[in-house]
């Protein structure tokens, strides 16, 4: 099918997303405290190429040029995150005014260029001082997060009307507090359950404070979603699929919608009751203005009794002989359509914004061009599926590409490139890829 911007309607929001730790650099400059990722990457064994985000794209220095790139690419919305330790170095207490000033300059630059800023409060860079006190496993984080949210809202709410509370809590809790391959590197169910519960409570806390402090804002939260299919129709494979669906898709949306924790489909969740205090169940739900839906792939699950709790394993895409991205993820555009329908079926979500979708592929340099035809096809195919869902009545109002710049890709280091813009990490120069030029042309289309 021929894809046109006008098909989505004049009010559909187009943008790109980034995260502070992945692009900013300046990791201990001008009063910033250390984050858990600053500390986690000090052990080079934690990162695939032994790298870190100490400098990354040096967006802290080059933010003006990066906003100019957005303007050049006709991108009208920019979603970025605030580094919690840049504005509250210890996580609470004394505010670092130089950090506040940086984000104020960034916001003002966006507005001066006609670009609408969207703020994500938490994109994984917890102040390390808080981690030393237990981080997300410590119930005090409810107060720490409330204070952080209030500081951000009071300083930026006069100019920023679109907010997201958490980015992919299933990922940063699962990878950071159960599997241990993301910061802070904690493992086990006894870390996972309290961290999960506190993150769920913080979604509501953040939403309430935003609405109280910035009354006319649009508040949301960004949830990772992955289509989960069973390897076969056997009862054990289907039950394993259901458990993985809980882990990947249900843990942070169902409590938010007032449905509680999906304990019936995942026995290991029964112990979460030990983390709950009186009235917690009443505080979990919050009626967000929108849900940020993020999708990259689907997974196929097979029963395996040797895997603790989940009793299943993911059948890797490479072992299924399907087309993959550079991350080894299956290219399956229908997943974003199916996940929009899956969440919409709850009947309680007013609006969806696709706040992340994109892919890493090897970029091909030919003379002065950086060709990435696979990325262009990936984006087109997924945008078509978003449009399909929209045309079927799902209230999806925006689509944000991950990401603007090649950056530090968490545990993958600099081995994966997701950007519309190529970053030379030796001299921090930026080069627009063919996918960037394609998106710019797509966005330049005028409504009739």
For the chain, percent of residues with pLDDT exceeding 70: 99
Residues identified as active-site? 168, 356
Residues of the chain by 3-state class (helix, strand, coil), percent to 5? 40, 20, 40
Confidence at residue 365, expressed as pLDDT on a 0 to 100 scale: 84
Radius of gyration of the chain measured on its C-alpha atoms: 21
Would you say residue 207 lies in a domain? yes
Strands of 172-289 (E only): list them: 218-230
Confidence at residue 1, expressed as pLDDT on a 0 to 100 scale: 66
Residue with tokens 């799902």: 394
Would you say residue 140 lies in a domain? yes
Confidence at residue 2, expressed as pLDDT on a 0 to 100 scale: 83
Residue 31 scores a pLDDT above 60:
yes
**pLDDT tens digit sequence for 104-122:** 999 999 999 999 999 999 9
With bands split at pLDDT 50, 70 and 90, how would you rate the model's confidence at 79? very high
Q: How far is CA 319 from CA 113, 283, 300, 324, 330, in A?
A: 47, 43, 11, 11, 11
Residue 285 scores a pLDDT above 60:
yes
Would you say residue 96 lies in a domain? yes
Distance CA 131, CA 36 (A): 7
Would you say residue 184 lies in a domain? yes
**pLDDT tens digit sequence for 150-203:** 999 999 999 999 999 999 999 999 999 999 999 999 999 999 999 999 999 999
What pTM did the predictor assign?
0.98
With bands split at pLDDT 50, 70 and 90, how would you rate the model's confidence at 368? confident
With bands split at pLDDT 50, 70 and 90, how would you rate the model's confidence at 381? very high
CATH number at residue 269: 3.20.20.80
Neighbouring C-beta atoms of residue 56, cutoff 10 Å: 25
Distance CA 85, CA 426 (A): 26
Mean pLDDT, all residues of the chain: 97
Specify the number of domains making up the chain.
1
For the chain, percent of residues with pLDDT exceeding 90: 98
Who contacts 212 (Cβ-Cβ below 8 Å, separation ≥6)? none
With bands split at pLDDT 50, 70 and 90, how would you rate the model's confidence at 366? confident
Confidence at residue 331, expressed as pLDDT on a 0 to 100 scale: 98
Q: How far is CA 217 from CA 220, 284, 288, in A?
A: 10, 21, 11
Confidence at residue 447, expressed as pLDDT on a 0 to 100 scale: 57
Would you say residue 354 lies in a domain? yes
Residue 448 scores a pLDDT above 90:
no
Residue 76 scores a pLDDT above 60:
yes
Confidence at residue 131, expressed as pLDDT on a 0 to 100 scale: 98
Nearest to 78 by CA among 355, 295, 296: 355
Would you say residue 145 lies in a domain? yes
Domain that holds residue 205: 5-221+251-293+323-443
Question: What is the rounded average pLDDT of the residues 348-361?
Answer: 98
Instruction: Provide the residue count of the chain.
Output: 448
Residue 246 scores a pLDDT above 80:
yes
Confidence at residue 356, expressed as pLDDT on a 0 to 100 scale: 98
Q: How far is CA 265 from CA 188, 268, 270, 288, 405, in A?
A: 19, 9, 10, 26, 39
Who contacts 348 (Cβ-Cβ below 8 Å, separation ≥6)? 257, 258
Would you say residue 388 lies in a domain? yes
């Amino acid at each position: 099918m021929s894809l046109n911007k006008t098909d989505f309607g004049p009010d559909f929001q187009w943008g790109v997303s980034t995260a502070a730790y992945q692009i900013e650099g300046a990791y201990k400059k001008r009063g910033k405290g250390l984050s858990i990722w600053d500390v986690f990457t000090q052990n080079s064994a934690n990162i695939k190429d032994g790298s870190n985000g100490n400098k990354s794209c040096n967006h802290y220095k080059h933010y003006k040029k990066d906003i100019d790139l957005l303007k050049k690419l006709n991108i009208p919305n920019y979603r970025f995150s605030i580094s919690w330790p840049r504005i509250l170095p210890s996580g609470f207490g004394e505010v670092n005014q130089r950090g506040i000033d940086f984000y104020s300059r960034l916001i003002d630059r966006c507005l001066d260029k006609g670009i609408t800023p969207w703020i994500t409060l938490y994109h994984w860079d917890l102040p390390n001082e808080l981690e030393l006190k237990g981080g997300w496993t410590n119930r005090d984080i409810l107060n720490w997060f409330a204070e952080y949210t209030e500081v951000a809202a009071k300083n930026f709410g006069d100019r920023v009307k679109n907010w997201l509370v958490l980015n992919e809590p299933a990922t940063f809790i699962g990878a950071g507090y159960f599997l241990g391959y993301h910061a802070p590197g904690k493992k086990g169910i006894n870390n996972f359950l309290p961290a999960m519960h506190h993150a769920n409570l913080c979604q509501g806390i953040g939403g309430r404070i935003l609405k109280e402090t910035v009354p006319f804002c649009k508040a949301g939260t960004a949830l990772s979603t992955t289509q989960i299919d069973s390897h076969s129709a056997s009862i054990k494979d289907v039950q394993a699929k259901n458990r993985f669906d809980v882990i990947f898709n249900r843990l942070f949306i169902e409590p938010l919608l007032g449905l509680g924790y999906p304990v019936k489909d995942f026995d290991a969740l029964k112990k979460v009751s030990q983390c709950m205090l009186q009235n917690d169940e009443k505080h979990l739900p919050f009626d967000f203005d929108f849900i940020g839906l993020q999708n990259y792939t689907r997974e196929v699950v097979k029963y395996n009794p040797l895997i603790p709790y989940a009793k299943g394993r993911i059948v890797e895409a490479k072992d299924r002989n399907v087309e993959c991205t550079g991350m080894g993820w299956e290219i399956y555009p229908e997943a974003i359509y199916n996940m929009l329908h899956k969440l919409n079926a709850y009947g309680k979500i007013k609006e969806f914004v696709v706040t992340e979708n994109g892919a890493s592929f090897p970029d091909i340099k030919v003379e002065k061009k950086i060709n990435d035809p696979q990325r262009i096809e990936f984006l087109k195919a997924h945008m078509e599926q978003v449009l399909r869902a929209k045309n079927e009545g799902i209230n999806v109002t925006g689509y944000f590409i991950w990401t603007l710049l090649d950056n530090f890709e968490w545990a993958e280091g600099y081995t994966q490139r997701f950007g519309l813009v190529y970053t030379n990490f030796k001299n921090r120069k930026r080069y627009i890829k063919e996918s960037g030029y394609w998106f710019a042309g797509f966005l330049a289309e005028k409504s009739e």
